[in-house]
């Protein structure tokens, strides 16, 4: 069974994934299950040869592996994990820089997805327009409270992962939905509260 989430701590692996076509390939395999280079070519409007090359690069860094059946471009490939994470205080400078670049790339991709969704929601079934949401808040939090919020968001984001692997678990009428969240200090907006003191207005 593939691992739930793989934590990336190597700059080389992050760089290997920092390519638009490879990110699309990885996402399709995670969402759809094992796919061949030919099938990916049809999905991405790329040549099977190009997809095969990118699959080998992903395999070199352990993101995908051959599944049973087929040979050459008809060989199916499967993801080795359900998700990826990166970034941490223990990362060296190169890994930190590469991870930051990957995060920005991910946010850019999701921004494009959001723009598309906002346009489509205008003409979609009103129940989906009501259910969808974009939320923004500024909160005074301690580091422990911030960590707790992020753990809660992570739990929400992963609670339905089994539905990727087993379509029979997907409720009738369900759709693939995008969930993107971040909870970070703002920096340079308002001075932090000194330890033990309450915030005060000037």
Contact 193, 140 (CB under 8 A): yes
CA neighbor of 25 nearest in space, from 71, 59, 67: 59
Evaluate whether the domain defined by 3-132 bears CATH number 1.10.10.10: yes
Residues 6+ apart with CB under 8 A from 125: none
Task: Kindly report, residue by residue over 6-43, the tens digit of the pLDDT.
Answer: 899 999 999 999 999 999 999 999 999 999 999 999 99
Contact 187, 146 (CB under 8 A): no
pLDDT over 70 percentage in the chain = 95
pLDDT at site 2:
59
Rounded Cα gap, residues 81 and 65, in angstroms: 10
Domain ranges of the chain: 3-132, 135-202
Task: Kindly report, residue by residue over 33-90, the tens digit of the pLDDT.
Answer: 999 999 999 999 999 999 999 999 999 999 999 998 777 778 899 999 988 999 888 8
Greater model confidence, 172 or 159? 172
Centre a 10 Å sphere on the Cβ of residue 42 and count the other Cβ atoms it contains. Answer: 12
Greater model confidence, 3 or 122? 122
Phi, psi of 82, rounded to the nearest 5 degrees: -85, -20
Rounded Cα gap, residues 31 and 164, in angstroms: 6
């Amino acid at each position: 069974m593939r691992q739930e989430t793989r934590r990336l701590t190597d700059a080389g692996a992050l760089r290997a994934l920092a390519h638009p076509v490879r990110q699309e390939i990885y996402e399709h395999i995670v969402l759809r299950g094992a796919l061949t280079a030919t099938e990916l070519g049809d999905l991405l409007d790329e040549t099977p040869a190009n997809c095969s090359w990118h699959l080998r690069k992903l395999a070199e860094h352990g993101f995908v592996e051959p599944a049973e059946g087929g040979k050459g471009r008809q060989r199916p490939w499967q993801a080795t994990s359900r998700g990826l994470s990166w970034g941490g205080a223990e990362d060296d400078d190169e890994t930190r820089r590469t991870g930051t670049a990957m995060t920005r790339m991910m946010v850019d991709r999701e921004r494009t997805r959001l723009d598309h969704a906002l346009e489509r929601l205008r003409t979609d079934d009103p129940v989906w327009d009501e259910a969808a949401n974009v939320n923004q808040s500024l909160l005074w939090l301690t580091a422990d409270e911030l960590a707790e919020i992020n753990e809660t968001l992570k739990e929400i984001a992963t609670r339905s992962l089994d539905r990727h692997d087993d379509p029979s678990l997907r409720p009738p009428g369900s759709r693939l939905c995008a969930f993107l969240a971040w909870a970070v200090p703002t920096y340079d907006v308002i001075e932090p509260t000194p330890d033990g003191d309450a915030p005060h207005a000037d």
